[in-house]
Amino acid sequence: MRMFQLARVAAEAESVRLKARVQRMVGSAIMGVIALIFLLCALGFGHLALWGLLRDQAMLSAPAAAGILAGGDLLVALALAWRAAKAPPSTEEIEARLVRQRALDGLTSSAATSTAVATTLLSLWRGAKRR
């Protein structure tokens, strides 16, 4: 019976871990979409004003002003994409993985014990049958 309880605990822990992982992945995807929206808004609304400012105030040529803007956009996009990709596992996910591992370790030791007992009983029964 203990083996089945350990298997059930392992399955429940895996379920909790997978749900937490999916939630983390959804959060990362949402941050990625927000990063894309930010990038598009910055490109659409801010560039024209900044380009004009750079040309007028800094006395830059049109290609130089455009290059500065593109570099800034690239830095913002890379920073947000890096953050979305590096979301660490939650505490709940880590704890569920540890619970699952402990349950599976207990299941393995229980199965080994059950196999040893069954083998011993079978050999005793065969020995008694031969007498």
Q: What is the pTM assigned to this prediction?
A: 0.41
Which of 130, 72, 104, 95 has its CA nearest to residue 3?
104
d(CA 33, CA 104): 38
pLDDT digits (tens, 9 = 90+) for 33-47: 999 998 888 778 888
- Between 109 and 121, where is the model more confident? 109
Q: Categorise residue 59: left if φ over 0, alpha if ψ from -120 to 50, beta otherwise.
A: left
pLDDT of residue 78: 94
Among 34-43, 75-84, 104-113, whose mean pLDDT is lowest? Answer: 104-113
- Specify the amino acid at residue 75: L
pLDDT of residue 45: 82
Average pLDDT of the residues of the chain: 83
- Specify the amino acid at residue 19: K
pLDDT of residue 121: 65
